[in-house]
Amino acid sequence: MGKLIKADGTTVEVSPKNGTDYKLDELQEFVGGYIEVVHCKEEGMILVINEEGKFLDLPWNKEASKIADIHFCDYIVGDALLCKDEEVR
């Protein structure tokens, strides 16, 4: 089970369609395009984000930026899926 962290600050609990792991088409639907995986500060957790989010000028995602293991000057934009690393294959 994962959590879709929307750029507006709302969250939605989501599960893989097959019950075990997210497939590429599901991930692309959640983030609205090509995907990029970003590690989180919490071990074993990842964020799946839109790879082109900054080029597309997607809105800043404050909540996802807080939990991402990124450099202090970087940030996450657009909707992001938070899930266990093992749930993405």
Task: Render pLDDT for 27-71 as a digit per residue (tens, 0 to 9).
Answer: 999 999 999 999 999 999 999 999 999 999 999 999 999 999 999
Strands 80-84 and 45-50: antiparallel
pLDDT of residue 2: 97
d(CA 30, CA 22): 10
Task: Please give the average per-residue pLDDT across 9-15, as a whole number.
Answer: 97
pLDDT of residue 89: 81
33: left (phi over 0), alpha (psi -120 to 50) or beta: left
pLDDT of residue 75: 97
pLDDT of residue 72: 86
d(CA 21, CA 12): 17
Alpha helices for the chain (secondary structure H): 24-31, 62-67
